[in-house]
Chain A
Amino acid sequence: KAGVTQTPRYLIKTRGQQVTLSCSPISGHRSVSWYQQTPGQGLQFLFEYFSETQRNKGNFPGRFSGRQFSNSRSEMNVSTLELGDSALYLCASGPSMRLGEQYFGPGTRLTVT
Chain B
Amino acid sequence: AQSVTQPDIHITVSEGASLELRCNYSYGATPYLFWYVQSPGQGLQLLLKYFSGDTLVQGIKGFEAEFKRSQSSFNLRKPSVHWSDAAEYFCAVGAPNTGNQFYFGTGTSLTVIP
Contacts and interface: CB of A to CB of B under 8 A. Distances in A.
A99 B102 contact: yes
Interface residues of A, number: 27
Nearest to A46: B101
A99 B100 contact: yes
B71 interface: no
A58 B98 CA distance: 12
Contact of B32 (A58, A97, A99): A99
Contacts of A90: 43-44
Given A31-B100, A43-B90, A45-B103, A100 B43 contact: no
B41 A45 contact: no
Interface in B33-89: 34, 36, 41-46, 49, 51
A56 B49 contact: no
B34, B49, B51, B102, most chain A CB atoms within 10 A: B102
B49 A100 contact: yes
Interface stretch (A11-19, A63-71, A77-85, A101-109): A101-109
A106 B90 contact: no
Given A48-B99, A50-B99, A92-B100, A99 B94 contact: yes
Contacts of B96: 99
Interface of B: 32, 34, 36, 41-46, 49, 51, 90, 92, 94, 96, 98-107
Interface of A: 4, 31, 33, 35, 42-45, 48, 50, 55-56, 58, 90, 92, 94, 97-107
